[in-house]
Amino acid sequence: MKQDQFLNVIDRDEAERRFRAALDLRPLAAEEVTLDRALGRVLARDVIAPVDVPSFDRSNVDGFAVRAEDTFAAAEDRPQRLRLSGEALVPGVPPRATIQAGVAAAIATGAMLPRGADAVVMVEHTDALGAELLVRRPVAPGANISGAGGDIGRGETVLRRGELVTSRETGVLAALGVTSAAVVRKPRVAILSTGNELIAPGQPMRPGLVYDSNATILADAVRELGGEPVHFGIAPDERELLAELVRQALHEDVVLLSGGTSKGEGDLSYRVVAELGQPGIIVHGVALKPGKPLCLAAVSVQRSEVGGQKSEEYLTSDFRPLTSEPLTSDLRRVVPVVVLPGFPTSAIFTFHEFVAPVIRSLAGRRQDAAATVAARLPLRVNSERGRTEYLLVGLVKKGPDTFFAYPMGKGSGSVTTFSRADGFVVIPRQQEYVAAGTEVRVHLLGQGLQPADLVVIGSHCVGLDYLLGRLHDQGWRTKFLAVGSTGGLEAARRGECDIAGIHLLDEATQQYNRPFVGAGLCLVEGYRRLQGIVFRPGDARFAGRTVKEAMAHVLADADCIMINRNRGSGTRVLIDRLLHGIRPPGYSMESRSHNAVVAAVEQGRADWGVAIEIAAKNVDLGFLPLQEEHFDFVMPEDRLQSQAVQQFTDNLGRKDVRKHLRHLMFRLD
């Protein structure tokens, strides 16, 4: 069947230029909100102080209100004698008497200064003798007092339009006695997921279905940007139903769809968007990786209300009102409509590149430049010529100012890749690869870089997951990058990690791990674990057979499909030794963890694979033991004194930790 092609795959910058040119990116109208709802909003108007703060001359210390000139002659050995007025001034009670020459009045911190006084002498610089006060240190006019309006003067502009309201700003507003503030209305963003394969979290999983994670990711991203998500649920691949939902969504300020943007026969989203109205689809297909199928559109609609309420005014980018008249019923507006790719990493990446700046503009928020750091790629990365690639990376710090950027892998369908990445590297569209050791610029994700206390690179194991979880409970930040035993060992040799988890067998000595530990490294023994062939219960090709018998059946049966492990992992070495160079069906399909292997077998996508015993037991798979191996930890010698490393090794020796590792079916001496 013939498949349509993208309308016109264009460069990323040109796509952004066309999209923004079609939109009105002025901040939305102002709305008045109570002070308890102003946090996180953007001020739409300047705040002018209606009162003085403080509203009266106030004492900053406990002491005595005086006329400063009466203290000028005071000294420790020649105290100045003043008469006490007999009035004790306390906060909240206006003074009754005026301070005359030679008179002082006791005053508490925060109390109103009496008429005639122009300073307060601290109590520790005085002695009270009956009705007489001895002042031992002179004070200047204004000493130890806050004058009325000294903090904020009535009529003063204290907060300016365009400022983000934080707890500091709400404190200022409260100090002014303000109960509400004019803020930019939150952009309402319609979020609609599409696809017959999607189900909402909480529903029972069935074969062929996936949970809709995009709606949650996008909704929370909208909130972070100052918008208000409006959930429209999941639409099946039914054209009329989808079209009706999108038409309803056009009542909001922005419309987001995820999925159905490719040009396959079942992809409907872009077709529905194309029929909505002018200006219509602006871009369909951007030379990006991930994110090529992105569809950017805009629809002009008649507007009488916004988000269910009348709008009062439009504001320009510098927040000067253009009009204070209510919007008329025939005013038209342009609604951005974006169809994001369905894969999670592609969806969130394209959202942040193209949609986030639009939401920030409508919410009145400034476009903050993302922070970047220089780093080196420890290994070669291939790229596709003709597409700008955003390579997600995890950062590992080596020394005070040196970072290594490890590619996160897993592809655009991964839910976790974006959440675990520290940043991304932009590979230009004409570049086919980036050589190992190349210095790159990493664009940080989130609110800056938080270096981990402990970096672990190497082989994955559920035992290691448990050990790192213990460290988190003890207050340490950890980072783990699964690159296999070989990759972890190399990272340790280069000093790029604190610990490398490995399980490598030396063929010559038949000894695990120790023969690979060279100069500058040390080995800390971990635990032993049993690797074996995993299969579905009742499969006669494996059940009740020896490994040799089972492999004879496997290699003779073209319908028996395996699931492999990633190259560089210790399990892959074990598999290749088991197969003696033979590549049965499924050999080219690689997974990066034991859990992924057992999932493939359990679901019937593969018939067998190699994984550790606990992974098979957790899903009730059959298990044929292959070999007990040692999972140990290699550390650069110069990291041994690190507090986080010491805590890790201390945990390994704890009785409760070792008991739990045994519960996970690991063996310890």
User: For position 301, which CATH number holds?
Assistant: 3.40.980.10
Mean pLDDT, residues 137-141 taken together: 95
48 and 155 in contact (C-beta within 8 Å)?
yes
3-state secondary structure of 20: helix
Q: Percent helix, strand, coil in the chain (nearest 5)?
A: 25, 30, 45
Q: Say what the pLDDT of residue 23 is.
A: 92
Q: In the predicted model, is pLDDT for residue 192 greater than 50?
A: yes
Same domain, 203 and 350: yes
pLDDT band at 528 (very low <50, low <70, confident <90, very high): very high
How does residue 173 score in pLDDT terms, banded at 50, 70 and 90? very high
Q: With respect to residue 500, please indicate whether it lies within any of the assigned structural domains.
A: yes
Computed over every residue of the chain, the mean pLDDT equals 86
Distance CA 16, CA 22 (A): 10
Q: Does residue 589 sit in the same domain as residue 628?
A: yes
Cβ atoms within 10 Å of 244's Cβ, excluding its own = 13
Give per-residue pLDDT as tens, 314-328: 332 232 332 333 333
Q: Is the peptide bond before 290 cis (omega within 30 degrees of 0)?
A: yes
pLDDT band at residue 260 under the 50/70/90 scheme:
low
The pLDDT of 49-76, averaged and rounded, is: 92
| Both structure tokens of 294 | 């992105």
What is the secondary structure of 366-432 as a DSSP string? --PPPPEEEEE-SS-EE--TTSEEEEEEEEEE-SSS-EEEEE--S-TT-SSHHHH-SEEEEEPTT--
Which of these ranges, 322-331, 333-342, 448-457, 560-569, has the smallest mean pLDDT? 322-331
pLDDT at 267: 65
Across the range 576-585, mean pLDDT stands at 91
Q: Is the pLDDT of residue 566 over 90?
A: no
> Could you tell me the pLDDT band of residue 509, with boundaries at 50, 70 and 90?
very high
Can you tell me which residue has the tokens 């700003």?
A: 169
Query: Where is the domain boundary, 389, 423, 444?
Result: 444
**Confidence band of 207 (pLDDT split at 50, 70, 90):** confident
Is the bond preceding 54 in cis, omega lying within 30 degrees of 0?
yes
DSSP letters along 121-182, please?
EEGGGEEEETTEEEE-S---TTTTEE-TTSSB-TT-EEE-TT-B--HHHHHHHHHTT--EEE
Question: Does residue 575 lie in a domain region?
Answer: yes
At residue 502, the 3 state secondary structure works out as strand
SS (H, E, C) 152-166: ECCCCEEECCCCECC
- Would you state the pLDDT for residue 561? 95
Q: Give domain status of residue 7, yes or no.
A: no
- Judgement on whether residues 131 and 195 belong to the same structural domain of the protein: no
Same domain? For 162 and 203 the reply is no
pLDDT of 320 reads: 30
- CA 93, CA 317: separation in Å to the nearest integer? 47
Predicted confidence at residue 138, as pLDDT, reads 96
Q: What are phi and psi of 555, to 5 degrees?
A: -75, -15
How far is the first Cα of the chain from the last one, in angstroms, to the nearest whole number? 63
* Closest of 278, 222, 224 to residue 253, by C-alpha: 222
174 and 99 fall within a common domain: no
Query: Residue type at 470?
Result: R
CATH of the domain at 381: 2.40.340.10
pLDDT value for 317:
29
Q: Residues 111-119: what's their mean pLDDT?
A: 94
Same domain, 586 and 628: yes
Beta strands in 420-487 (DSSP E): 423-427, 433-434, 439-444, 454-458, 478-482
Q: Which domain-ending residue is among 390, 416, 444?
A: 444
Domain closes at, from 444, 469, 504: 444
Predicted local distance difference test score (pLDDT) of residue 550: 92
Its domain, for residue 422, covers 372-444
Residues 231 and 335 in one domain: yes
The pLDDT of residue 423 is 83
Q: How confident is the model at residue 263 (pLDDT cuts 50, 70, 90)?
A: low
pLDDT the model gives residue 436: 87
Total domains in the chain come to 5
Q: Give yes or no: residues 508 and 607 share one domain.
A: yes
**pLDDT-derived band of residue 122, with 50, 70 and 90 as boundaries?**
very high
Q: What is the pTM of this model?
A: 0.74
Cis peptide before 279 (omega within 30 of 0): yes
Q: Are 444 and 423 in contact (CB under 8 A)?
A: yes
- In percent, how much of the chain has pLDDT > 90? 50
Instruction: Please list the residues that pair with 591 across neighbouring strands.
Output: 565
The CATH number of the domain holding residue 87 is 2.170.190.11
pLDDT at res. 305 = 45
Q: What is residue 451's predicted lDDT score, i.e. its pLDDT?
A: 73
Name the residue among 171, 230, 231 with its Cα closest to residue 38. 171
Q: Can you give 44-107 as a three-state secondary structure string?
A: CCCEECCCCECCCCEECCCEEEECHHHHCCCCCCCCEEEEEEEEEECCCCCCCCCCCCCEEEEE
Q: Which residues, at least 6 apart from 380, have a Cβ–Cβ distance to it below 8 Å?
A: 433, 434, 435, 436
Tell me the average pLDDT across 88-111: 94
Whole-number Å distance between alpha carbons of 406 and 490? 13
Let me know: does 123 contact 107? Beta carbons within 8 Å. no
pLDDT for 371 equals 81
Say if 380 falls within a structural domain: yes
Q: How far apart are CA 306 and CA 188, in angstroms?
A: 9
* Pick from 196, 188, 212, 345: nearest CA to 260: 196
pLDDT at 387: 81
Q: Are residues 558 and 637 in the same domain?
A: yes
Instruction: Name the residue type at position 52.
Output: D
Quickly state the pLDDT bin for 409 (edges 50, 70, 90).
low
Decide if 1 is inside a domain: no
Which bin fits 520, alpha (ψ -120 to 50), beta or left (φ > 0)? left
Question: For position 1, what pLDDT does the model report?
Answer: 36
* 499 and 579 part of one domain: yes
* Residue 75: inside a domain: yes
Of 141-145, 149-153, 232-236, 294-298, least confident by mean pLDDT is 149-153
Residues 543 and 645 in one domain: yes
What's the mean pLDDT in 212-224? 91
Total Cβ atoms within 10 A of residue 638:
9
Which pLDDT score is estimated for 327?
A: 33
Rounded CA gap, 423 and 172, in Å? 36
% pLDDT > 70, the chain? 91
The most confident of the ranges 18-27, 319-328, 361-370 is 18-27
215 domain residue, yes or no = yes
pLDDT of 331 above 70: no
Give start and end residues of each alpha helix (H) in 229-378.
Answer: 239-249, 269-274, 344-350, 356-362
Q: State the average pLDDT over residues 613-624.
A: 93
Q: Are residues 198 and 279 in the same domain?
A: yes
Q: What confidence score (pLDDT) does residue 623 get?
A: 95
Task: Report the CATH number at residue 589.
Answer: 3.40.190.290
Q: Is residue 2 part of a domain?
A: no
pLDDT digits (tens, 9 = 90+) for 418-469: 667 888 888 888 888 889 889 999 888 765 567 788 989 999 888 999 999 9
For residues 373-386, average pLDDT: 85
Q: Cβ–Cβ contacts within 10 Å for residue 453, how many?
A: 18
